[in-house]
Chains A and B, each alone.
Chain A
Amino acid sequence: DQQVKQNSPSLSVQEGRISILNCDYTNSMFDYFLWYKKYPAEGPTFLISISSIKDKNEDGRFTVFLNKSAKHLSLHIVPSQPGDSAVYFCAARVTGANNLFFGTGTRLTVIP
């Protein structure tokens, strides 16, 4: 069963506009969430994370929002740039556990 879900396989956004990538999870024990970015033929690269004690974390153009009651998190990229075009994976973990659970990814295309 897929405990972390990214229901949008792809997203296209105009350069300069906001990109919003969504992620839902089912396991209420998850308490740490991460976003990874992946370019073709490369491994996932860590982007930003958030602990369940927060509802927002910001790093430059990237902001992650967490809604625990809805078991939903989102990644906002603003302004979007062509170099942001990649596959974005949402991941989650239970503190004390060893592994990350990943979603299936969303392919973001930023159109110049």
Chain B
Amino acid sequence: GAGVSQSPRYKVAKRGQDVALRCDPISGHVSLFWYQQALGQGPEFLTYFQNEAQLDKSGLPSDRFFAERPEGSVSTLKIQRTQQEDSAVYLCASSSSIAGVEETQYFGPGTRLLVL
């Protein structure tokens, strides 16, 4: 299919380990978003890219979280020195238009991260 894909789907990490989560957006989509969804909660915004530019990272919870989209397509969310509170589902979404207009964000299936 031509939807948003994410890998890995599941990741178990030991506390202190670094992890990298990948997002392949819908081809040609300008905007890419990362969200964090804790158990029993709705998704919470982490960061936004317009093409390769990271225009908003206000939702990143700490400097251990880092995201990149170097060529304006695939994006990677990296979490350094993982902590147990980082355990969540990480969702990626993409959109064909720039953020802030009445666009629809299309979500991937998410990566479920469990930090032990």
A residues bordering B, Cβ < 8 Å? 4, 32, 34, 36, 41-46, 49, 51, 89, 91, 95-105
Q: Are A46 and B104 in contact (CB under 8 A)?
A: yes
Binds A, one of B14-22, B38-46, B73-81: B38-46
Question: How far is A73 from B44 in the complex, measured between Cα atoms in Å?
Answer: 20
B22 → chain A, closest Cβ, in Å?
14
A75 → chain B, closest Cβ, in Å?
15
Q: Are B100 and A44 in contact (CB under 8 A)?
A: no
Which residue on B lies nearest to A87, using beta carbons? Answer: B42
B residues bordering A, Cβ < 8 Å? 4, 33, 35, 40-45, 48, 55-56, 59, 91, 93, 99-102, 104-110
Q: Are B42 and A99 in contact (CB under 8 A)?
A: no
In the bound complex, residues from chain B placing their C-beta under 8 Å from that of A97 are: 99-100
Q: Are A46 and B105 in contact (CB under 8 A)?
A: yes
In the bound complex, residues from chain B placing their C-beta under 8 Å from that of A98 are: 33, 45, 48, 55-56, 99-100
Which residue on A lies nearest to B41, using beta carbons? Answer: A104
Q: Are A99 and B102 in contact (CB under 8 A)?
A: no
